Amino acid sequence: MKSAKGLFGAFALILIGVIFGAVLLSGFGLVRPTIEDIKLGAGSPPVNLDADATAFSKAFIEVAEKVTPAIVQISVLSERENPHDDFFFPFFKEMPKEQRGSGSGIIISQDGYIITNNHVVENASRVDVGLFDRRNFSAKVIGTDPLTDLAVIKIDADNLPTAYLGDSDDLKVGQWVMAIGNPLSLASTVTAGIVSAIGRGQLNLIRDSYGVENFIQTDAVINPGNSGGALVDLSGAVVGVNSAIATKGTGTYIGYGFAIPINLAKAVAKDLIAHGSVSRGYIGVLIGEVDDAMAKSLGLEKPRGIIVQDLVKGGAAEEADIKVGDVILKIDGREVNQANQLQSYVATKTAGTNVTLTIFRDGKEVQRTVELKARDIETKSEPVVDNSEKDNKENSNKSATFDEIGLSVRNITSQEKNKYNAVNGVIITEVKPYSKAYDQRLIQGLLIVEADKQKIENVGDLKTVFDQKKGAAVLLKLQDAEGVTQFRGIEIPK
């Protein structure tokens, strides 16, 4: 009996030891589960996508799959210019004479025409193109247009995947878009965002007074190397050619990118392919936007249109009876409220094309047909100088200060008339910071030649107009030292 009890006790001790050992082993991770036993994460996703959400995601996927093959990577070799005198900087001779750059391009025809940015291929001694299928070709520059920052190159290939070029006039702020290109040498990169703004100008990216800046702004990430790539909508239509980024010295994206509208790019590309250059038409006007004060001074019910500040002598506008001070409301039935809207539309037209302008003049809307001219026909207008002296007016009321608008003026001398090539006017001598005059961008050194469409011979004339227009807005015609006229509207307090 005792023997049986002893055996049972021994067995119990062994069992307890085995169990205790197993617990210890598993606690220290010495016994591992099998692959089949391992279950990671929750058993189901936290959100079940509905059909609409799935379709929305699928749209991005399909656009990336369908459009990316039509986007190419461009490598450029260009000669480095020596900005220094070799005597003082002899080490520059030891530096490489060539430099390499890169960008993107969009295939626009099956036989190898590709659109890109002018700044990608500018001054290139060699251009190479890499396709999505990893084939490489040497490319020829067909033509460039620095005024729009566009260029066309060509490779010797057939049956290439071709992008569908959409209609950028249909774009809306808030619309989803995707940027496709090769940023930072990372091939076939796709980013997404929305159209943040349209008609974005005054970025000073094209340093030419005839440059066309009418960009699509997007928060889809664009970085160096994206230049010349595609901005596409969710149907896969190319709506813009990626061109620039907003940056503060870093050279990389900080929030916004800019693309050239595809409608402008199509017009430029056709001209470059057909002629190797752009035969662009020009109206021959210097224009500015209409603000609230100017609208009131002109008799417009609200700020709209763009004002003609000056005419090119012998230009298309002058021959079509367009006058300084006219407000262009529409071109070919399209409303224009920003200078770059007019420039961008005209940039799609060739010399010899007729456009119809709807103009606000003397309280009425009139129409004028303008036959666009080539740029080289037009020359800058020069006012005719009348050297006759009006001593009695020049010496009366020599200076005046209008405290209510923060403006001081004085009569101009005969020498200043010659310097400004002006017939009449008073010169602005001081503008008080943050005054009404300051807010309307009146600056020291400008001439006021007209006020309320009345010629200003001296400060007495200007004072008379301001006194008569208290509580109303006055349109000022200004002239700078280069002879360029400008308009400003300013409200005169009661």
Q: What is the pLDDT of residues 204-232, one digit of tens each?
A: 777 676 788 889 999 988 888 889 999 99
**Alpha helices per DSSP H over 243-369:** 262-275, 292-298, 316-319, 339-346
Q: How far apart are CA 421 and CA 387, in angstroms?
A: 10
Q: What is the pLDDT of residues 386-411, one digit of tens each?
A: 333 344 344 444 899 999 999 999 99
The pLDDT value recorded for residue 42 is 86
Mean pLDDT, range 178-193, rounded to an integer: 87
Q: Which fold has domain 391-491?
A: Pdz3 Domain (2.30.42)
Q: Which of 75, 128, 145, 149 is catalytic?
A: 149
Please check the confidence at residue 10 and state whether its pLDDT lies above 80. no
Query: Can you give the residue ranges of every domain in the chain?
Result: 65-80+97-275, 281-377, 391-491
Mean pLDDT, range 58-65, rounded to an integer: 94
Q: Which of 104, 227, 344, 408 is catalytic?
A: 227
Look over the chain and give the mean of its residue pLDDT values, rounded to a whole number. 84
246, 222 contact by CB (below 8 A): no
Is the full-model pTM beyond 0.85? Answer: no
Whether 44 is catalytic: no
Q: What is the pLDDT of residues 345-397, one digit of tens each?
A: 998 898 899 999 999 999 999 999 999 998 754 433 333 333 333 443 444 44
The residue count of the chain comes to: 494
Question: Model confidence at 184, in pLDDT bands (50, 70, 90)?
Answer: confident
Q: How far apart are CA 469 and CA 493, in angstroms?
A: 9
Whether 292 is catalytic: no
Q: Does domain 65-80+97-275 have CATH number 3.30.530.20?
A: no
Torsion of CA 432, 433, 436, 439, to 10 degrees: 140
Q: How far apart are CA 67 and CA 25, in angstroms?
A: 57
Q: How far apart are CA 54 and CA 68, in angstroms?
A: 21
CA distances from 440 to 17, 433, 488, 491 (A): 94, 11, 7, 10
The pLDDT value recorded for residue 308 is 93
Quick one: 281-377 is in which CATH superfamily?
Answer: PDZ domain (2.30.42.10)
The pLDDT value recorded for residue 21 is 59
According to DSSP, the β-strands at 447-451 and 407-411 are unpaired
Q: How far apart are CA 420 and CA 118, in angstroms?
A: 37
Question: Model confidence at 80, in pLDDT bands (50, 70, 90)?
Answer: low
Whether 271 is catalytic: no
Question: Model confidence at 252, in pLDDT bands (50, 70, 90)?
Answer: low
Q: Which of 75, 102, 104, 119 is catalytic?
A: 119
Residue closest to 222 by CA, chosen among 249, 201, 197, 251: 251
More confident residue, 10 or 262: 262
Within this chain, domains 65-80+97-275 and 391-491 share the same CATH topology: no
- End-to-end distance of the chain based on CA atoms, in angstroms? 125
Residue 383 is which amino acid? P
Query: Which of 174-188, 204-218, 228-242 ranks highest by mean pLDDT?
Result: 228-242
The pLDDT value recorded for residue 113 is 97
Q: What is the pLDDT of residues 466-490, one digit of tens each?
A: 999 898 999 999 988 888 888 999 9
Q: How far apart are CA 134 and CA 137, in angstroms?
A: 10
- Tokens standing for 40? 């990671």
Residue closest to 365 by CA, chosen among 399, 401, 326: 326
- For the ranges 89-93, 110-114, 273-277, 482-486, the lowest mean pLDDT is seen at 89-93
Q: What is the pLDDT of residues 256-311, one digit of tens each?
A: 889 999 999 999 999 999 999 998 889 999 888 899 999 999 999 999 999 998 88
